[in-house]
Structure 1
Amino acid sequence: MIEFHNITAYQQETRVLDGFSLHIGAGEKVAILGPNGAGKSTLLKLITRELYPVERAGSHLKLFGSDTVNLWQLRSRLGFVSQDLQEDYTPYTQALDVVVSGFFGAIGAHGHLQPSDEQLEQARALLGVVEMAGHEQTMFQRLSTGQKRRLLLARALVHQPRALILDEPANGLDMGASLGMLKLLRSFCGDDHAMIITTHHIDEIIPEIDRVVLLNQGRIVADGPKADVLDSAALSDLYQTNLRISEQDGWYRCWHA
């Protein structure tokens, strides 16, 4: 589904990735874990084509087997949720318009973009799926952070994508909203659906995630089955502090040793 090979990428003047390679197959559920500044968000921006790698011989980025992906086709295959996207919406955008905007790859409502009755019906149904029914006309500014994040999840689902990509989906949420978001994510983990989550908290890695990639300073320092990678020694080294890891019912927790 996603193939990075020998990729170099910059954010402004900063080289974030250099000689970076990573393959993610169709249907895989992957968590990319690392401290702030590790390169997680840059990695996702390359996938969503918000950012492009340096062009050079022996380097390629392929999505769904092709290195030339039509953006409209990409939006129908990948659903994306991030805090940056959340901050792009104006305070006066109505909740239903947030969801509908996903059909057009837009931010908010625009007069020249007129949804069909079928699209409106689907958007209203998705509001119910993310437990936001009854909020169709509520302004974005009047919603809690957790409610805003659920709206973006509904927006990401309008095209019934083959993969969900979530950049720190529980970031900034209180405990109740965080648990609610993680519960929703678990419900979308069908066998044929891929999911990529970036985070710096292991308690956001839902049980359905079966592969974990540890990222630090733009380099992969570990990649493999969750039970093998979420190791006290590996995470202590990643975060430069002594940590202990425990697991219960597929959920992982950590604390200072």
Structure 2
Amino acid sequence: MKLSNTIKLFSCLLFFSLLTISCGDDPASANEDPPALPSFENVTADVSFFEQNSSEVNSESNFSAAYNHAIGLSSVSFISGIYLGFFNPADQSEADFKNGKWVWEYTYSDGSESVMITLIAEEVGSNMVWEMNWSYDDGAGNSFEDYTMVQGMVALDGSSGSWTFNDMDPETNTETPYLITTWERSSETNYESTTEIYDGSGGVDTYTFTQNGEVFDVSYTSSDQQTNIYVHWETDVQTGYYQIGDDQGSRYCWDATFQNVTCSDVGY
């Protein structure tokens, strides 16, 4: 089954959903309102240190190279924003409470093509469990039903969660993970997330982001172990380094004035 038309339709849906403005519907419920829709903010890396000091970027500095690596690696966490767009129309859809689950259904069509999205939320223990299913018909004999694109679980207190973003592969009629992200936040300034990126051929790249107070780390490890990148920075003293590979001899540091220094000069 060729998916070009399907992808085109979903791109239209994404554009439509990003334009959606919440109208504050009052869903029918059993004495309570449905849960707030997920924002995925907890899977987004905080690289504001580099953005705020972008004026210090130049082609010769270690800080510049670290800037490029950190910004590039953090883009992995923004991929979830593509999926987030498909949650937005639920703000204008009335949720039904069925068998202990909140269910939103909304549709979009473009000519003979149509897609229906079913979003389900269920409180299980101390977690809210989410599932988003897509059903599609191109009007020309190609269709699928209840394909699970997103699955997630978020602690009710916001302290942890996980999301699985599936690739669209209806030909096999099975969900194929594209990204799996898990995260834990013990305080406003202590946070860790890990994202596994599946390449479709059995390989898994791993991206991690951690914050421990004023200390931040981003790392990327390829499935073949041939590309390992580390970036470390400390916002209180403004020093840091980037490293390619596991050999500390390939570590490149900067000082509080963003100048190149020997790593031992700044305690690395």
User: More helix per residue: 1 or 2?
Assistant: 1
- Give your verdict on TM over 0.5: no
Question: Which protein shows a greater Rg?
Answer: 2
What is the TM-score of this pair, normalised by structure 1?
A: 0.28
User: More strand per residue: 1 or 2?
Assistant: 2
What is the TM-score of this pair, normalised by structure 2?
A: 0.27
